[in-house]
Amino acid sequence: MMNSQKPLYKNKLNTIEVRVTDLLNRMTLEEKVAQTLCIYAKKGNFQDEQGNYDEDKAEKLFLTGAGRIAEVGFVENSARKMAELTNKIQKYYLEKTRLGIPVIFHEECLHGQMVQDATCFPQPIALAGTWNPDLIQNVFSLVAEETRSRGGHHALTPVADVAREPRWGRVEETYGEDPYLVSQMVIAAVKGFQGEQETINKKHVIATLKHFVAHAQPEGGSNCAPVNASESVLREVFFPPFKEAIQKANAMSVMASYNEVNGIPSHKNKWLLQNILREEWGFKGFVVSDYYAVKQLEVRHYVATDEKEAAYQAFMAGIDAELPLDECYSNITDLVKEGRISETKVDEVVGRLLEYKFRLGLFDDPYVDAEYAEKFAGSRQHRPLALQAAHESITLLKNENNLLPLSKNDIKTIAVIGPNANKVLLGGYSGIPKFYDSVLDGIKTKVGNEIEILYSEGCEITKPGDWEATDEVIPANPNDDNIKIKEAVKTAKQADIIILAIGGNELTSREAWNENHLGDRASLELVGSQNKLIKAMLETGKPVVVLLFNGRPLSINYVNKNVSAVLECWYLGQETGGAVANVLFGDFNPSGKLPISLPRSVGHIPVYYNHKPNDRRGYLFDDVSPLFAFGFGLSYTTFEYSNLKLKKSKINVNDSTIISVQVKNSGNYAGHEVIQMYIRDSVSSVTRPVKELKDFQKIQLKPSEIQTVTFEINPEKLSFWDSDMNFVIEPGEFEIMIGSSSRDIDLQRVKLKVT
């Protein structure tokens, strides 16, 4: 009998639709609007000086309710503290508000939850270099479970932006320059975060696709700058990762981008948020604003006269919730009373927001186990996955005379040199992992007492600072660097080989969220005295191995011309040292492939591989090609491709065929290879790229082992957007290319006739 007395929305035996409808019918307008609002839970606003929950502060903030709370975890809270805090806040909402509506806690989870004691994986640009979607799904499944164990429900990631502007400081947050590769990585990340069911169990969280759209090719490489792109470019390049993740992985949330697209800020762009996202793609989830972006319609874009007008424009365009706090959306109540927004529209939006609280099970089982969270988050058992991800992220760019892998038997002393040799290098949106080892730590652990390890910093990249808290970036002092370089030379002369860790740091490539907090660059050269340090190391006559740590592609012409072995490491997460050491000494054969092209200079931008045929004619006195191409990456072994053939060399426009190739490990080491398939439409009604990635497979082969790899070529892979914005296949000849990178010399070709 007790169950029958419950309101329908509190009875879990009812369908979600019935529960949402019943709850909406009970809510006042103010309670409905509260569901679109957010409270920013930075330390202090409802905690005491020790970080403990302060009920008096909280009650003043919570008032009639809120839809969500932002970043309760933050970096100051341990797993136990966060779990206890979310439980207390939920208890307040369930027991002290009129209708007992729980809140959603959203968290930053770019490559691990951005909190204390979470497992920290490589940055997304590094994860993309693994070309391993199964690994990416496993990584974010673990991130989701750690986040949920602490009380989080909604991850503000993955970044689905296609990065075609290396000057932009947020490249590290992306999965690279190619829409197909980005799509596969983002699909995998969403499946990891959410699972693959309609409901979201207590090991998963809601994923957010961001930033919709074209955020990663800003004008001049300047964060949030305008994007002017044709509809065909939007559809061919920037839309696919979002569309694919919605339709193939059921992504439940989307975040609009700060920028304007063709003159219309994304936060008021009905064509993007309604016509494309909901009507064309069938998106059923909810759309959130980027932080402070609704207010920016007034203060940066100047398309709204005040906060009320900004709220009206964003809400009517399709922004369901304002993050991270209420600057504008509380005005929705007055906008309804004034008749500018209908309460029916409010019900539609709030119904969506409530639906996902029911899907998360928050009305029925909102609490978490703080003791379990403390044991689970960042636990030692999670380190092997973080190490695997770091291993597979490392890309071997150069290895003259097989300098790598190193043999312990041939070396008595190693000099570990460089500004990135003994630093914590996690990149942006990082938490504080329980464990971290530097390159120096990893090499020392690897060799033990067998080899003497010497260390010298060599130079600084910038003066020390924090990715978030440090606004002004102070260059290193050249005079101080000169002294450090001399010390490094003395150290290096005592060694048999030099391991040189250089590149960038969290201050030289980061989100530029304000004019006093910059991170975009007008140059891609190594910052400071690093080239001078490299030259000094080479002049010792010792063999040099360069390790690059960076968040964006860098122009490393001097390194490439003069150094024998180069490894691109990006940011590898908490297992940096162990992963690097294992690769250096051959315990793991590097298998990474570049997810983004490395330009020769900033003047070579754009440098993405999938350019149009009338592009890249050449430059006076310089090579037009990238220094290292998309998809490129060496191994300690070699692979031979042969017997490339189509099952059917002629098909009709509705048909499919299979292409196969034999791949042989022709070297002396077991290794992984990423077989890449590119397609070119030879003659078409509108111009098409010289090649486009359409599929890939990562395989592992022992020495002399041969494997036949097959790919399906179906209508979707042969279609494009024509001048009328129809997705079509045009009969004619297609060139199918398979190989180890996007470089022409690495590809074999066959022709496919489509009738």
pLDDT digits (tens, 9 = 90+) for 608-618: 999 999 999 99
How far apart, in whole angstroms, are the C-alpha atoms of residue 709 and residue 694? 15
- Annotated catalytic residue: which of 117, 178, 290, 520? 290
User: Could you give the CA distance from residue 572 to residue 332 in angstroms, rounded to a whole number?
Assistant: 44
Identify the architecture of domain 639-754 in CATH.
Sandwich (2.60)
Query: b vs e for 279-305, b when ≥16 Cβ sit within 10 Å of the residue's Cβ?
Result: eebebebbbbbbbbbbbbbbeebebbe
What the block records as the tokens of 182 is 């980005």
- Residue 508 predicted with pLDDT over 70: yes
Q: Check residues 440 and 97 and name the one with the higher pLDDT.
A: 440
Stronger pLDDT, 4 or 645, i.e. the higher one: 645
pLDDT at residue 312 tops 60 = yes
pLDDT in tens, 151-170: 999 999 999 999 999 999 99
What homologous superfamily is domain 35-376 in, according to CATH?
A: Glycoside hydrolase, family 3, N-terminal domain (3.20.20.300)
- Tell me the average pLDDT across 94-109: 95
Q: Reply yes or no on whether the pLDDT at 2 is more than 50.
A: no
What is the dotted CATH code of the domain comprising 394-603?
3.40.50.1700
pTM of the model: 0.97
Contact 144, 193 (CB under 8 A): yes
- The whole-chain average pLDDT of the chain stands at 96
Mean pLDDT of 377-385: 97
| 3-class DSSP state of 627 | coil
Instruction: Please say whether the beta carbons of 536 and 485 come within 8 A.
Output: yes
Domains of the chain, residue spans: 35-376, 394-603, 639-754
Q: What's the alpha-carbon Rg for the chain, to the nearest Å? A: 27
Q: Peptide bond preceding 213: is omega within 30 degrees of 0, i.e. cis?
A: yes
Averaged pLDDT, 224-232: 97
% of the chain exceeding 90 in pLDDT: 93
pLDDT over 90 at 379, yes or no: yes
Do the domains spanning 394-603 and 639-754 agree at the CATH topology level?
no
DSSP 653-698: TT--EEEEEEEEE-SSS-EEEEEEEEEEESS-SS---S-EEEEEEE
The C-alpha atoms of residue 331 and residue 294 are separated, in whole angstroms, by: 12
User: In angstroms, rounded to a whole number, what is the distance separating the alpha carbons of residues 412 and 427?
Assistant: 33
Q: Is 290 known to be catalytic?
A: yes
Judge if the upstream peptide bond of residue 324 is cis by omega within 30 degrees of 0: yes
Number of Cβ atoms within 10 Å of the Cβ of 666: 14
**Range in 32-41, 129-138, 525-534 the model is least confident about:** 32-41
Mean pLDDT of 269-291: 98
Tell whether the torsion through CA atoms of 143, 394, 604 and 610 is positive or negative: negative
Cα separation, 199 vs 194, whole angstroms: 9
Tokens, residue 699: 């395989």
pLDDT tens column, 693-751: 999 999 999 999 999 999 999 999 999 999 999 999 999 999 999 999 999 999 999 99
Token pair 């907090």 is at which residue? 517
When pLDDT is averaged across residues 656-676 and rounded to a whole number, the result is: 98
Q: If pLDDT is split at 50, 70 and 90, which confidence band does 17 have? A: very high
Q: How confident is the model at residue 530 (pLDDT cuts 50, 70, 90)?
A: very high
Q: How far apart are CA 331 and CA 319, in angstroms?
A: 14
Task: Report, as an integer, the average pLDDT of 680-689.
Answer: 97
